[in-house]
Amino acid sequence: MQIIGARYNRLRMMQKIGYRDSIFQVYRKVRNAIIEEILEF
């Protein structure tokens, strides 16, 4: 039951923050990491 509750709470938090925004943040982090790798290379 605790696992289900935690998952539900996480979904609620994502909805509060804005699911699209969180996806965009992850995308930006990945893109920045790739750019840094290219620059170091």
Give the residue ranges of DSSP H helices in the chain: 2-17, 19-40
14-24 mean pLDDT: 73
Task: Return the biggest CA–CA distance within the chain.
Answer: 48
Q: Which domain holds residue 33?
A: 2-40
Query: How do residues 3-12 score in pLDDT, each as one tens digit?
Result: 777 888 887 8
Domain total for the chain? 1
Checking if the pLDDT of 1 tops 60, the result is no
What is the value of pTM for the model shown?
A: 0.43
Length of the chain: 41
